[in-house]
Each structure stands twice: as C-alpha cells, then as structure tokens.
C-alpha cells in the first residue's frame, strides 16, 4: 500500500514544532503557578472555649500559627492589620447578615466629661517579633470583645487572613462561628 501525504515546506514544519513547544511551555508554567499557589507558608487555627457568649461579656479567641514551609517565617498574627516586611494579617469579622462588624471606638471615660479631652488609639509601642522555624507553632490570642462592637445578639463569623507580600498569596484560617446572646 502506498502512503500518500502532503509535503509541507520547511517553514510550516518549523511553525508546527514552535506551536507545540510553546503550548508545552505554557502548560508547564501554568502547572508551576498552580502548584505554587497551593503551597501554604503558614496554617492559622482559630478557636474559642465557648461558642455561645452573653452580650457584654469578654470574648477571647485563641490563635495557633504553624510554619508549613521549609524556612523560618514570621507568623504575622495580631488582631489586625499587622504589617510586617513580608506579611499583612487582618481579622475579618462578620455579623449575621454577612456585614463587617465595626471596631469599637476608644474608651473616653478617662476624660471624665472634659470636652477638650479625647482618647485616641495609639499604634505605637513595642512588641517582640517572633520567628517560627519549619514545623514549629506559636500560640497567641486576643480579646475580640475589646476590639469590636459585639453588643448585638446574633451569629458572628471570624477569620484571619494572612497575605504574603513576597508571593502575593494568602492563607486563611478556619472560619469560626459563635453566637452572642442577650
């Protein structure tokens, strides 16, 4: 049996080879990008001792940050946002309708009614930076009721989101749900 084929000029064979090579390179780059986007630097776990609390009571959230990478990292957790050289962490707190909960204003009671006095938040001060070695964890926490207005009964959700400025990636904690009762 005689094989019949079409002869392509050298230019078309070259173009076909170039197209196949380009497609393979694009697929390889895409798979590397997808793999890098799924690699997590840290794991953030939020928890509470009680998931139902009375309005006006103190509400404490525990945070455990674990280094999942093969190099030291700063956990970057603080009820936010906390800006560092390589990360930014913030808290997302939503009410029953999925709307962000407002931060409380500073307590003005120290002014004792003086109209010329005003207490403001100060972001200065000091802190001790923590670096986590690979596989190590850091436990922290915060009094959420001191930062946010949780005076209204309802179901709330809270999540920590840590953005890595170097890679542009983001790690989110578990979504923690709690109820504020009257």
Domain containing 123 equals 40-181
- What's the rounded Cα separation, in Å, for the pair 143 and 167? 30
In a domain, 3, yes or no: no
In a domain, 158, yes or no: yes
Strand 42-47: give its sheet, edge to edge: 42-47, 60-67, 137-143
105 and 30 within one domain: no
29 and 63 within one domain: no
Q: Which range has the worst mean pLDDT, 50-59, 135-144, 151-160?
A: 135-144
pLDDT at 8 over 60: no
* pTM (predicted TM-score): 0.66
Note the pLDDT tens digit of each residue in 82-112: 555 555 678 899 999 999 998 887 778 888 8
- Count of domains forming the chain: 2
Q: What is the CATH number of the domain that holds 87?
A: 2.60.40.2970
- What's the rounded Cα separation, in Å, for the pair 181 and 154? 7
- What's the rounded Cα separation, in Å, for the pair 75 and 87? 9
67 and 29 within one domain: no
Note the pLDDT tens digit of each residue in 17-64: 545 555 555 454 444 444 444 467 889 999 999 999 999 899 999 989
62 and 17 within one domain: no
Note the pLDDT tens digit of each residue in 67-82: 898 988 876 655 554 5
């Amino acid at each position: 049996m005689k094989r019949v084929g079409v002869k392509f000029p050298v230019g078309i064979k070259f173009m076909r080879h170039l197209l196949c090579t380009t497609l393979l390179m694009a697929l390889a780059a895409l798979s590397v990008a997808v793999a890098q986007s799924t690699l997590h630097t840290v794991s953030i776990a939020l928890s509470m001792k009680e998931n139902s609390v009375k309005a006006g009571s103190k509400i404490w959230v525990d945070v455990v940050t674990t280094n999942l990478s093969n190099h030291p990292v700063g956990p970057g957790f603080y009820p936010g946002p906390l800006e560092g050289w390589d990360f930014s962490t913030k808290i997302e707190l939503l009410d029953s309708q999925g709307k962000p909960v407002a931060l409380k204003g500073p307590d003005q009671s120290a002014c004792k009614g003086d109209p010329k006095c005003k207490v403001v938040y100060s972001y200065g001060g000091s802190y001790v930076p923590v670096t986590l070695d690979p596989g190590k964890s850091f436990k922290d926490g915060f009094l959420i009721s001191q930062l946010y207005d949780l005076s209204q009964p309802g179901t709330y959700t809270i999540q920590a989101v840590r953005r890595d400025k170097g890679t542009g990636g983001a790690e989110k904690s578990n979504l923690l749900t709690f109820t504020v009762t009257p």
